[in-house]
Amino acid sequence: MITIESAIQDIKLATGVSIPVNLLLGVDTVERLDDQPYFAGVGQVEEASKWVITNNWDDFNEMAPSGYLAFGYAGHGVNSWAVCLQWKTSTGSGCLRLPCGGAFMGDKEVEQANSYLRDLAAFSKRCDSAGIALEVVEDMGEGRYRVFERGGEGVESNSSLIADSSRASRLNLLLADLALRATGSAVPDRRFSCRSNGLAEWQDENDEGSVLVFAVDARTSPEIHSSGCAEMLSTLHKFDEATCSDHALKLQEWASKANLGEIVWCPACFEIKD
């Protein structure tokens, strides 16, 4: 067996990435998977071999046992290397593959991974203190984040945050959504990064829906558009986040509760709005 501190140090020496200890379920020791640079909770080596570098997120959430932990680094050839971390508890889970090595990556990707893990560790601690469950996927540019009252319904965001400098604000917006749901207020259906493929896919599937686009740092006023608005496409570069719903009034209520500021209604989509 290996102490958790030694395992963290091994990964840091090899990749430059330091995994915060509070993401490692409070364990003191781990076991190495054969001769791989990968570690698992004591007694979990066989189970971990099923999930190393998996991208079957839903299968992992359903099938991995509570208390499961595995982490390390893995890759193929010189092109794609990543620090990996997976955990599963009775109240949450995580599947992380963070790019940080190979011929085409350097210090930028290492710092992104470290910054991301620090923000995630702080957010995880905040959720634990508030009794909120957290499910995280951050997988080589794809992301999904869910927060929910333990045993109840939750909210989610579908976008990668590893390269997003405003990720802490985005994560906090999830908690604002959850608080709104708890009071019975309307919560929008989905949220995406304005630069993600998920937004375009949602628009294709919901041509009668509405989209609220806003800047996380409030540098410009939020706008509400119909799903297929051509004007919105030409202004997306000004915004960070897109929140989507089947009805524009849900977006208006949510924006008010989230203190996003005065909303601009697209004149091409809506003739008259108070």
pLDDT in tens, 80-129: 788 999 999 988 999 999 988 666 667 889 999 999 999 999 999 999 99
- Residue 271 falls inside a structural domain: no
Residue length of the chain: 274
Entry pTM: 0.75
Helices 248-257 and 167-182 pack at an angle, to 10 degrees, of: 110
Query: In the chain, how many domains are there?
Result: 2
Is residue 81 a contact partner of residue 75, using CB atoms and an 8 Å limit? yes
Give the Cα separation of 89 and 60 in Å (integer): 12
- Residue 272 falls inside a structural domain: no
Whether 160 and 225 map to the same domain: the answer is no
Range of the domain at 254: 190-265
Give the Cα separation of 33 and 162 in Å (integer): 27
Give the Cα separation of 181 and 193 in Å (integer): 21
- Residue 270 falls inside a structural domain: no
CA geometry: angle at 173 spanning 168 and 179, to 5°? 135
Whether 241 and 129 map to the same domain: the answer is no
Whether 49 and 128 map to the same domain: the answer is yes
Query: Which of these, 58, 10, 65, 13, lies nearest to 35 by C-alpha position?
Result: 10
Determine the average pLDDT of the residues in 3-7: 96
Give the Cα separation of 23 and 116 in Å (integer): 12
State which of 182, 199, 214 marks the end of a domain.
Answer: 182
| Residue 143, token pair as written in the block | 């992301």
State which of 134, 159, 182 marks the end of a domain.
Answer: 182
pLDDT in tens, 27-79: 999 999 887 788 999 999 888 888 876 678 888 988 999 999 999 998 766 66
State which of 182, 200, 217 marks the end of a domain.
Answer: 182
pLDDT in tens, 192-222: 888 778 888 999 999 999 999 998 877 889 9
Burial class (CB in 10 A: 0-12, 13-18, 19+), 186: middle
